[in-house]
Amino acid sequence: MTKLRSVGRSTNEDLRARVHFCSETGQIWLHEHRMLLVHAEAQATLRNELIDTLGMDRAKGLLTRMGYASGVRDAELARTRAEDSSDLEAFMTGPQLHTLEGIVKVTPLKLELNRHSGKFYAEILWEHSWEGQSHRRHYGIHSEPVCWTQIGYACGYTSAFMGRTILYKEVECTGMGHNNCRIVGKPAEEWDDAAEQMRFFNSESIADQLIDLQTQVVQLRSSIGDRDQLPEDVTGTSPGFRAAYELLKQAAGSHISVLLQGETGVGKEVFARSLHEMGPRCSKPFVAVNCAAIPQELVESELFGVEKGAYTGALVSRPGRFERADGGTLFLDEIGDLPLSAQAKLLRVLQDGEIERLGDQKTRKINVRLVAATNTNLQELVKAGRFRSDLYYRLNAYQIVIPPLRERKQDIPLLAKHFLAKHTAIHGKKLRGFTDKAKRALLAYPWPGNIRELQNAVERGVILAPSGTRIEVSHLFLSSNDVQPQEFGLDPSGGLDINRWEAGKDLREAVFNGTLTLDQVEAMLLETAVDKARGNLSSAARMLGLTRPQIAYRLKRLHEGKDGPGDPASAAFDGTRVGSI
């Protein structure tokens, strides 16, 4: 040991002489390499941030490789000294530089090496390890050694010096609570766990991993589905709904592309998923893409995939959604937002069953059933030159129009009951159903956001209504603005001149502050219509968009002065036993 220390001391001074501070140019040189004098605390901040953002394992890999790179540089310097000194003396350059650079004080305890035969064994004491102390200060005592950069340095230096892979391990570490760190180094073949140690020398592209994870998230999401959009949430007995669902069932067994047309919130994705699940592709992937949610410049790479180097930033090859949906169904929502260039490619996929990744020469066969959806009028987009007519005709071959909720009001009680059961279960609440006023409001409201909005309103009601009570209007609609005056309590197809209802706002206020009831509003409308029609019930009914028997029924009830048991709104809800919970 004494001999080793004296070897170190004798060669130290010429190394110091190789450090040059060049204040004029702002450079520090160690021999031929530019060096940096960095604040240890700043370095610690970077190290901590790596650990906190990437986790111990990834930070360890990065820091080990960083140390390895500086060890390899220092080995170059050692080689220049090797010519006029022994192997042992030349080797000591590394430990001395590591010390000189302020990282750790290095003292070899045992050192046997022969560059010619490749023999190597080292046992080294590390005192005042910067990394060990810093880690311990910020993270406390660790169960494993923590001087990753330093171990990387030792491995890089010795491997470059010896011309073969030498691995070091810390057998003691200040980061683990020991007084000093102690390392042992020997050729990779002599370690049982060499592969595990070497794992940290392989750089891993975090970008690759992120893309992989993103892909998994997309797949998981499409297999779990949107919590808001369960197949059982799309149900109904209205003719409009049943006609649409019947068309869907008929298409399920075939391969034909389907275009779903309907407003936001009508359940287009659930329709698409049901189509997938009813058909022979049900065991294959269902992949949903919202074309409006992807930036235009990324749409093509998302859909068709990309080859490495296709454009700046395309660091890895990756499959697009079409390839991921192979064998299954691809659902393209808001297809009207697809850029024209992507439309051309989509058409080719539909015609030839082939895709070409961006930047790729070869084509790939794929077998995907396409379901597209839109809430805009594609025909108008075609006229405006924003949608290819050939693609439109291809998609339009099998079109299913899903009616908005306001056109299938008879389904509202069923849906409201369903959502009530669902959300009382989710929120662990017991409720007795809806008040009569709430039932009427649910039927009267136009639901521009359709089923999704209905579900949100019912969920809000479930949350706001005290346990054991019934959901009231104010629980469903937080603000009176939610209920538009010209539609609240009126039949939207009802032929009333809405402009003449300038008092609509006042009317709404009156209903909400309780000075007027809905029944009174209805009475006003009925009486006005009858007056205008000079008593002719058929013509009064037409003004309100009702049939003659309907208006007669309402007037009869009005004259009876109270809600009878035959109130259609209440009956609809009671018939589905909303309040049975």
Point out which residues bind Zn ion (CB under 5 A). 129, 132, 147, 173, 181
**Quick one: 141 or 293, whose CB is closer to Zn ion?**
141
Indicate the SS3 state at residue 447.
coil
Q: What are residue 261's phi and psi, to 5 degrees?
A: -115, 130
**Quick one: 122 or 438, whose CB is closer to Zn ion?**
122
Query: Shortest approach of Zn ion to residue 42 CB, angstroms?
Result: 20
**Quick one: 181 or 405, whose CB is closer to Zn ion?**
181
Which residues share a beta bridge with 287?
A: 330
**Quick one: 123 or 226, whose CB is closer to Zn ion?**
123
Q: Which two tokens stand for residue 535?
A: 């008593």
DSSP letters along 324-371, please? HTTTSEEEEESGGGS-HHHHHHHHHHHHHSEE--BT-SS-EE---EEE
Query: Taken in order 270, 275, 279, 283, is the CA torsion positive or negative?
Result: negative
Query: Shortest approach of Zn ion to residue 48 CB, angstroms?
Result: 16
Cα(343)–Cα(340) distance, rounded to whole angstroms? 5
Cα(95)–Cα(124) distance, rounded to whole angstroms? 9
**Quick one: 127 or 574, whose CB is closer to Zn ion?**
127
**Quick one: 130 or 434, whose CB is closer to Zn ion?**
130
Query: Shortest approach of Zn ion to residue 140 CB, angstroms?
Result: 14
**Quick one: 31 or 128, whose CB is closer to Zn ion?**
128
Q: Which two tokens stand for residue 383?
A: 């006229």
Closest CA to 464 of 416, 441, 431: 431
Cα(291)–Cα(386) distance, rounded to whole angstroms? 14
Cα(399)–Cα(405) distance, rounded to whole angstroms? 19
Neighbour tally for 513: CB within 10 Å: 9
**Quick one: 154 or 483, whose CB is closer to Zn ion?**
154
Query: Shortest approach of Zn ion to residue 339 CB, angstroms?
Result: 55
Cα(61)–Cα(204) distance, rounded to whole angstroms? 9
DSSP letters along 523-547, please? HHHHHHHHHHTTT-HHHHHHHTT--
Query: Shortest approach of Zn ion to residue 174 CB, angstroms?
Result: 5
Query: Shortest approach of Zn ion to residue 161 CB, angstroms?
Result: 21
Indicate the SS3 state at residue 109.
strand
Query: Shortest approach of Zn ion to residue 175 CB, angstroms?
Result: 5
- Is 289 within 8 Å of 251 (Cβ atoms)? no
Query: Shortest approach of Zn ion to residue 176 CB, angstroms?
Result: 7
Q: Which two tokens stand for residue 344?
A: 């051309």
**Quick one: 181 or 372, whose CB is closer to Zn ion?**
181
Report the half-sphere exposure of 112 (CA within 13 A, side-chain side).
5
**Quick one: 129 or 229, whose CB is closer to Zn ion?**
129
**Quick one: 106 or 147, whose CB is closer to Zn ion?**
147
Closest CA to 578 of 475, 383, 431: 431
What residue spans of 279-324 are helical by DSSP H? 296-304, 321-324
What residue spans of 373-435 are helical by DSSP H? 378-383, 389-396, 412-427
Neighbour tally for 342: CB within 10 Å: 21
Query: Shortest approach of Zn ion to residue 104 CB, angstroms?
Result: 8
**Quick one: 148 or 304, whose CB is closer to Zn ion?**
148
Report the half-sphere exposure of 516 (CA within 13 A, side-chain side).
18
Query: Shortest approach of Zn ion to residue 113 CB, angstroms?
Result: 22
Q: Which two tokens stand for residue 308?
A: 């490495």
Query: Shortest approach of Zn ion to residue 130 CB, angstroms?
Result: 10
Cα(551)–Cα(559) distance, rounded to whole angstroms? 12
Cα(508)–Cα(480) distance, rounded to whole angstroms? 8
Query: Shortest approach of Zn ion to residue 44 CB, angstroms?
Result: 15
DSSP state of 306: B
Query: Shortest approach of Zn ion to residue 195 CB, angstroms?
Result: 22
- Is 552 within 8 Å of 537 (Cβ atoms)? yes
Q: What residues have CB less than 8 Å from 380, skipping those under 6 apart?
A: none
Query: Taken in order 499, 502, 505, 511, is the CA torsion positive or negative?
Result: negative
Query: Shortest approach of Zn ion to residue 309 CB, angstroms?
Result: 41
**Quick one: 173 or 444, whose CB is closer to Zn ion?**
173
Query: Shortest approach of Zn ion to residue 65 CB, angstroms?
Result: 17
Q: What are residue 355's phi and psi, to 5 degrees?
A: -125, 160
**Quick one: 67 or 413, whose CB is closer to Zn ion?**
67
**Quick one: 48 or 235, whose CB is closer to Zn ion?**
48
